[in-house]
Copies of this chain bind each other. A is one copy, B any other.
């Protein structure tokens, strides 16, 4: 476990190269400061006046010189070794740095023609930053070369690994803020190295940017001893290199020397694995870069130290208007970079510096991996109809729906094995979620020690299991953003762990809608299973269907929610999701044995419409219905149909219309969502005046939220999860939430005018049923046979002797 504590200073840079490299860095720093402050006089040809300063000073200086330092050194490295590299900027608030560098290398102006590489362009570059109608202050989707916004800190390293998987030629440069490193997601991301296989995957070079501070506090990692730091990263499985100092010339030598060594080392690891096959996990290099926060900025302002303190985090000189001294300091600061040595009189970077940048797609701002849509290949998909569960008689056959989905996903995996562009993620729940079949064609991947006893684990599997929802999500995001496909299955309740990551990804997608050069990427597909209604054995903590509410808050054009009630609809929906682009698709479906409703043809039609009357379950055809019984979700569908059965046996004349909703978005007005039903259609299906009893998978309010503008909303009565539950029986879960067949039937009796007077007897039967239920489960510990064995009896199938409609 030898560790090169820091590379012996070998001065790999000749004097001229050093001087140029430093000049390039100064140019990047100059442009970064310019973006934060200036709206005119970009080259400081005239003395700086307050009119040339932006009225609102927004931006983060502190992190930026370090980010620039890394960028310019990677330019050198890319050229020298012809590397294929993208740059992930953990502290994304250092946006000016990435913008400055992509501007210097030319990739910025190629995307944004207005921002030319001359004085006027530079002026516009400065002006637009953090300015109304301009660009965001972070490394946003607008930033060429970025796949990571970094606004919410913590996901850089997971994104980096996600990008590196299945990209053997890619080396991801990943800068991690020392503050960012304190986040949970980042702290566990280091372990991603146990899932990377140098034979087929690219490399990640993590650079922990130890600039000592976050917003107002020192960072935890900066205040650990070098011994502890070294030990920590060795423990995480890396070989840490320290690059520490504040003298630019020495730091350039040290950084260049270290990077040279590291590239050789990484290439050695890869060569070895690719020639002899992967043998065992190597200690990959990583860099601990200790530089002053706000390096090269003002040392002291108003008597307070700035450089190398937390005070440099945002805008070091902020009182330019009221304090002329500040204005002079800003000018001096910018001039300290000697712009006249860097740009010619037209404002163009001098050619001897410009040549330091790589060219074409090798520029980090132009690398196609950072614009995944460019590289995206369609998945090869088997015909999902092949996996259909035969359903001749509706509601009579039981199947574990997600297990069927697993068979489909298995073959999706198989068909794309050669393309190496499909992965499946799960927090140790792949089999628990019944997707076992996938493992028949691809193992779980693990590059730590594997024992003979382990089940379907190997170094080249494509199923990624780790007990971290953050890593599943972060890896998948990185994988998708670099142009590949994936599928994430998760216990429904615990998907909330990545609520905020979902938010950020949806926002990223949303922003991309307006960025023409960003081509569409594959959708992020969630399967939420082990859901609230069948978490009766794990209890209350495992019961939360609220992710849908989080999803619904995002812009309609990037989100889709599906609640397929059975296996065939699940197949149809999954196929659709895997073909789609630029969405977040959420599929909620159960893993327990459940009754199957639709044959494949009906399933496809139903899913295509998104919502529809189930005629075979309704008896109002040719009549006005007395009540509409709507349902969304597998368990609510079951309970609704059982309630219909109960009601029909008690009230043969009652006209019931059964509506099932697969695509939740159809409920919204057309004006709110592209899938939304027109009011005319909606009224025709849900009527304008009949009671609607809606059994919903999630929190009931969501249905109100979607439908409150609809004509018949006042007659809509929704049942769903109301935070009742514990370790109990499956049926008891629906009973305690009033979502069971008996409560639903009771709701109908309460709301259908003609039953109100005659209903008392039936209500008493219902009451007794619920008491029976209660007593039975306490005595037997499981549900009543009449509940467990209930099947639909009015099916339309021909194979039966029972009643048909």
Contact = CB atoms under 8 A, between A and B. Distances in A.
A218 B454 contact: yes
B727 A137 contact: yes
A130 B470 contact: no
Contact of A430 (B216, B223, B228): B216
A699 interface: yes
Contact of A493 (B55, B152, B179): B152
Nearest to A706: B701
A424 to B, nearest CB: 14
A537 B496 contact: no
Contacts of A728: 132-133
Contacts of A723: 507, 510, 553-555
B699 A553 contact: yes
A314 to B, nearest CB: 9
A743 B133 CA distance: 20
Interface stretch (A23-31, A349-357, A461-469, A679-687): A461-469
A305 interface: yes
B93 A136 contact: no
A550 interface: yes
A539 B132 CA distance: 11
A538 interface: yes
A603 interface: no
Interface residues of A, number: 121
A770 to B, nearest CB: 13
A182 B500 contact: no
Nearest to A432: B215
A348 B217 CA distance: 57
A236 interface: yes
Given A1-B227, A217-B444, A223-B446, A151 B183 contact: no
Given A183-B184, A305-B453, A539-B138, A497 B494 contact: no
B131 A781 contact: yes
Nearest to A714: B714
A541 interface: yes
Q: How many copies does the complex hold?
A: 2
B224 A727 contact: no
Interface stretch (A186-194, A363-371, A406-414, A637-645): A186-194
A532 B494 CA distance: 26
A476 to B, nearest CB: 15
Nearest to A132: B777
B539 A550 contact: no
Given A152-B493, A468-B183, A554-B723, A537 B58 contact: yes
Interface in A540-577: 540-542, 544, 546, 549-550, 552-555
B219 A539 contact: no
A281 to B, nearest CB: 9
A234 interface: yes
A269 interface: no
A708 interface: yes
A496 B503 contact: yes
A453 B701 CA distance: 52
A606 interface: no
Contacts of A138: 538-539, 541
A657 interface: no
A189 B184 CA distance: 8
Nearest to A724: B555
A132 B231 contact: no
A539 B457 contact: no
A55 B223 contact: no
A133 B55 contact: no
Given A138-B541, A723-B554, A781-B132, A496 B493 contact: no
A324 interface: no
Contacts of A54: 781
A4 interface: no
A50 interface: no
Nearest to A127: B781
Given A227-B1, A541-B151, A550-B546, A179 B215 contact: no
Contact of A541 (B149, B549, B705, B708): B149
24 contacts: A56-B782, A132-B728, A132-B777, A137-B538, A152-B541, A182-B188, A182-B468, A183-B469, A191-B220, A216-B455, A216-B465, A217-B454, A219-B467, A220-B466, A224-B448, A228-B237, A232-B232, A496-B500, A499-B500, A499-B550, A503-B546, A510-B723, A511-B540, A546-B549
Given A135-B727, A493-B503, 8 more contacts: A54-B781, A56-B537, A132-B778, A182-B466, A218-B454, A231-B234, A546-B550, A553-B701
Interface of A: 1, 39, 54-56, 58, 93, 130-138, 140, 149, 151-154, 179-180, 182-189, 191, 194, 214-220, 223-224, 227-237, 305, 309-310, 428-432, 444, 446, 448-451, 453-455, 457, 465-471, 493-494, 496-497, 499-500, 503-504, 507, 510-511, 537-542, 544, 546, 549-550, 552-555, 699, 701, 704-705, 708, 713, 723, 726-729, 732, 777-778, 780-782
> Which 10 residue pairs spanning A and B have beta carbons closest together?
A232-B235, A151-B541, A184-B184, A496-B500, A231-B235, A223-B448, A187-B188, A187-B187, A182-B467, A132-B777
